[in-house]
Amino acid sequence: MMAKLLTLITLVALVLMTEGFRIGSKKLDFHKLINRRDPFPEPKNPPPRTSNVVTEWVTQRLDNFDPTNEVTWQQRYMMNGEHFLPDGCIFLFLGGEWNITEYRLENSFMEEMSQEFSCYMFYLEHRFFGLSRPTEDVSDESLRFLTIDQALADTAHFIEFIKSSSVTPGAQNSPVIVIGGQYSASLAAWSRQVYPHLVAGAWASSAPVLAIYDQFQFKELSGAVYRHVGGNECYDNIERGFAQVEEMVFAGRHAEVSEMFHLCNVFDDELDVQLFFSFISEAFSLLAQFDQIANVQGVCDLLDDDDHESDAHAIAAVIIYLIEFIGEEQEDECIDIDYQVAIEAERQTSWNSDMALLGFRQYTYLLCTQLGWYHSSNSRFQPFGSSFPAEFRHIACGDIFDYYTPEQMNDNIARFNTIRGGLNPGASNVYYTHGQLDPTRSVGVQVTHFEAAPSLVILGASQGNDLGPSSEDDTQALTDARELVKYALYRWMREAQRDTIVPI
């Protein structure tokens, strides 16, 4: 904890010293600055250890629901069987909108449970992300095969595949527990909902299960995190700062704003303005969503520093902090905020394009066609201004995908919630956990009266904290939450094993 605070003090000092430097020449894509997708990513310098993880491929059908379509493709997965013993279970972690790596199968609470319960571990990459590429490109036509139902069907087939004797000898009757984080946590819950005969139980960490076009609650909870950690003063500093930046933009002081935030260009287009405010507000939400209380408090301290010329300058300082937070160098760099450039980048359909490699185009497709989840400024009960309305998502989706219409999106979201149940999925043997500081919980199951599907909000935790390995720095709330999850998963495993016993 002390190390984090010292790091923050260093970052604060560095930011204050560099507030006045001029716009640089090396462009930083704003997509990459907010590209924290995996809720528990591999660190940049993971500790060395002998790997027991094997990477393999499974043959999947392109269309799981058209019996006349016999096109197949290769889906990547990783496995670690070092702890498995007969009568053990199978842990299956579902990939989301990111590249899978070996790290989760060697450094995670799932790995700790695997040791205790003698389980196989698998990590399945999501279709259209990482190296799991079902089609020759990511054109609109190809992305028709990127749906929630197709991903769930991939999971079902994969479970049947890994329980064969050739893949996991001795595990043919082993119960399968599916685990996920954020979007993949939703998949974990839905996999138990749709395929209960294959999935004995699921742990859904930070799962957003309600599809919604305008997720304005996300910004409300983001603001609430800063109020909770730093008090009303921190919240008010953010609110005043955003208001001042908006006043500067609307007064035509675009060059001043560009220099203050180290932007690559001077903008005055309405869509550039909406993109800019959406980006800087998302930076604040990112720190609340994924980080610990210490660094949220550090942001509040940075905002409150008397050396800032104005509250608007304090907001800009936090953006520079974000650049440092993700490990980018500050010197001679600028942030590229240009709506038309961003749209053109996301329209590229080659697998080698930056947006496809990052998974942005594919994930944007899921959001535009089924899930929504746009974090708008449409609520007055949040501190991030009012300059990125929900309509911005409709415009962007239409510009990226040729056949998109707002009516289609709204109909698809309503249909999706009807099929999956929204905040009431109705599936048993699903444990929902959320970090108190994670704004994603605004569309997650936080309260349930269904004893067979418990939910828990972990005090002081951010997104994905519970998925990580145990540490001496863990709070008691986090430790207790993991124990509750472990006990529930163990009980569901034993119930599944009892039900599969064949009488003599």
Per-residue pLDDT averaged across 401-418, rounded? 91
Contact (Cβ atoms closer than 8 angstroms) between residue 354 and residue 364: no
Q: What pLDDT digit, counting tens, does each position of 177-214 carry? A: 999 999 999 999 999 999 999 999 999 999 999 999 99
Strand-pairing partners, residue 212, are: 372
pLDDT at 28 over 80: no
- How many C-beta atoms surround the C-beta of residue 112 within 10 A? 15
**Element of type H or E holding 29:** strand 26-29
CA–CA gap between residue 189 and residue 208 (Å, rounded): 10
**Do strands 54-61 and 72-80 pair parallel, antiparallel, or not at all (unpaired)?**
antiparallel
pLDDT at 239 over 50: yes
Residue (of 363, 143, 122, 352) closest to 134 by Cα position: 143
Task: Tally the C-alpha atoms within 13 A of residue 319's C-alpha that lie toward its C-beta.
Answer: 28
Contacts of 113 (CB under 8 A, 6+ apart): 91, 119, 486, 489
- Among 177-181, 276-280, 429-433, 449-453, which stretch is predicted with the lowest mean pLDDT? 449-453
Q: What pLDDT does residue 136 have?
A: 98
| CA angle at 478 for the pair 475 and 481, rounded to the nearest 5° | 150
**Element of type H or E holding 433:** strand 430-435
Q: What pLDDT digit, counting tens, does each position of 66-100 carry? A: 999 999 999 999 999 999 998 899 999 999 999 99
CA–CA gap between residue 108 and residue 121 (Å, rounded): 11
Q: Phi then psi for 435, rounded to 5 degrees?
A: -80, 140
CA–CA gap between residue 482 and residue 14 (Å, rounded): 37
The per-residue DSSP string of 459-498 comes to TT--TTGGGSPP-TT--HHHHHHHHHHHHHHHHHHHHHHH
Q: What pLDDT does residue 322 have?
A: 72
SS3 363: helix
Q: Percentage of residues in the chain with pLDDT exceeding 70?
A: 86
DSSP strands (E only) in 267-347: 333-336
CA–CA gap between residue 434 and residue 466 (Å, rounded): 9
Q: Would you place residue 41 in the very low, low, confident or very high pLDDT band (cuts 50, 70, 90)? A: low
**pTM, entire model:** 0.90
- How many C-beta atoms surround the C-beta of residue 445 within 10 A? 26
Q: What pLDDT does residue 365 have?
A: 96
Contact (Cβ atoms closer than 8 angstroms) between residue 219 and residue 281: yes
Q: Answer with the residue of higher pLDDT: 167 or 44.
A: 167
Per-residue pLDDT averaged across 351-355, rounded? 96
Residue with tokens 């035509």: 252
DSSP code of 263?
B
Q: Answer with the residue of higher pLDDT: 337 or 196.
A: 196
Distances in whole angstroms, Cα of residue 336 to Cα of each of 31, 229, 275, 340, 446: 9, 31, 11, 11, 37
Q: What pLDDT does residue 500 have?
A: 64
Residue (of 148, 235, 218) closest to 188 by Cα position: 148
**Element of type H or E holding 201:** strand 201-205
- Among 40-44, 97-101, 182-186, 286-290, which stretch is predicted with the lowest mean pLDDT? 40-44
Tell which CATH classification among 3.40.50.1820, 2.130.10.10, 3.20.10.10, 3.30.450.20 matches the domain 55-205+423-499.
3.40.50.1820
Contact (Cβ atoms closer than 8 angstroms) between residue 373 and residue 208: yes
CA–CA gap between residue 292 and residue 463 (Å, rounded): 9
Length of the chain, please? 504
Residue with tokens 């990052």: 358
Task: Tally the C-alpha atoms within 13 A of residue 102's C-alpha that lie toward its C-beta.
Answer: 14
Domain coordinates in residue numbering, the chain = 2-39+212-413, 55-205+423-499
Q: What pLDDT does residue 31 have?
A: 52
Q: What pLDDT does residue 164 have?
A: 84
Per-residue pLDDT averaged across 425-437, rounded? 96
Strand-pairing partners, residue 26, are: 333
- How many C-beta atoms surround the C-beta of residue 48 within 10 A? 6
Sheet of 176-181: strand order equals 54-61, 72-80, 120-124, 90-94, 176-181, 201-205, 430-435, 455-458
Q: Would you place residue 504 in the very low, low, confident or very high pLDDT band (cuts 50, 70, 90)? A: very low
CA–CA gap between residue 8 and residue 305 (Å, rounded): 13
Query: Two tokens at 447?
Result: 């309260």
Q: Would you place residue 45 in the very low, low, confident or very high pLDDT band (cuts 50, 70, 90)? A: low
Q: How far is CA 379 from its chain centroid?
A: 22
DSSP code of 84?
-
Q: What pLDDT digit, counting tens, does each position of 271-285 carry? A: 999 999 999 999 899
pLDDT at 286 over 90: no
Query: Two tokens at 234?
Result: 């921190």
Amino acid at 459: L
CA–CA gap between residue 470 and residue 481 (Å, rounded): 12
Contact (Cβ atoms closer than 8 angstroms) between residue 90 and residue 110: no
Residue (of 233, 279, 254, 247) closest to 388 by Cα position: 279
The per-residue DSSP string of 366-422 comes to HIIIIIEEE--S--SSSSS-S-S-THHHHHHHHHHSTT--HHHHHHHHHHHHHHH-T
Per-residue pLDDT averaged across 295-305, rounded? 89
Strand-pairing partners, residue 121, are: 80, 91
